[in-house]
Structure 1
């Protein structure tokens, strides 16, 4: 077995349809390579958007312990039913871009999902997949979310979306 085959396939998992597709892709690739999969979920408390005092029940839901437990549940549910290779569940506190960048240092391959946000959303929030493509220490595969084509009749009857109130 070569050195590359003993290195894991690392995949970013956040529970989104795109990350679940990336996880399935990573498992199949690892099966062919004969290596393990490191399913990595990053979580962090970001209180930057909260203003003013919070009711105790809301604060309990956004506490670091609650956020970590929620991320663990997402990771556990995401890997359920996947077989054929060793899947190591890795939960890390931190920004997903940094966590996946660091994990790529010891990986044969990094697999991430692309949610296909608009250019405006990606400019504001940033794109984890784009960051990984440009900064990872190993090859990167970006798996796009499967788009379900909507019924054209339904689309024709839907009200048009506007960016806000028109003046």
Structure 2
């Protein structure tokens, strides 16, 4: 196996449906390539969002240790069930955009999920997938979030109650 072939497929994991689809896609691709997967999950503390007094129960959940443990649980849960491909779990403190771009430097491919929030939310929060597409050091595959079951049902199945006019006088 050449040095290029031994590089992993890197995938961003955050627990969202889009990230689960991205992980599934990355595992299938790594199986075809004969390489391992690096499942990368990033967490960071956003102290700017904490304003004013809060109950102690919430404060305990916001410690760096608890945030790290929660993200580790998300990562561990996401990679369960994939036995035939080696998956390296990578948990990093930092902004997901920069963490994934850094991981792309040693990767054959970077796979990320896209939640499809729309242009307004992406302008405010920023899009991890868009950032990766523009800054990654390797090719990037963006996997869309799966459609909700309600969106894929036929129109007849969605209409459970017939429409009626307003109150009859």
Q: Please indicate, yes or no, whether the TM-score normalized by the shorter chain is above 0.5.
A: yes
Task: Tell me the CA shift for residue 53 of structure 1.
Answer: 2.1
**Equivalent position of 2:39 in the other structure:** 39
**Equivalent position of 1:24 in the other structure:** 24
Larger radius of gyration: 2
**Equivalent position of 2:109 in the other structure:** 109
- 1:101-154 Cα distance to aligned partner (Å, 9 max, x none): 100000010000011111111111000000000000000000111113255464
**Equivalent position of 1:96 in the other structure:** 96
How far apart, in 2, do the equivalents of 1:142 and 1:124 lie?
A: 20
Task: Tell me the CA shift for residue 16 of structure 1.
Answer: 0.3
1:15-164 pair list within 5 angstroms? 15-148=15-148, 149=151, 151=153, 152=155, 154=158
- 1:4-42 Cα distance to aligned partner (Å, 9 max, x none): 210000000001000000000000110111111000000
Q: CA RMSD in A?
A: 1.6
SS across alignment from 1:112? strand
TM-score by length of 2: 0.88
Unaligned segments of structure 2, at least 5 residues: 162-169
How far apart, in 1, do the equivalents of 2:9 and 2:3 lie?
A: 13
Q: Which runs of 4+ in 1 moved over 2 A?
A: 150-157
**Equivalent position of 1:12 in the other structure:** 12
Task: Tell me the CA shift for residue 59 of structure 1.
Answer: 0.5
How far apart, in 2, do the equivalents of 1:5 and 1:110 lie?
A: 14
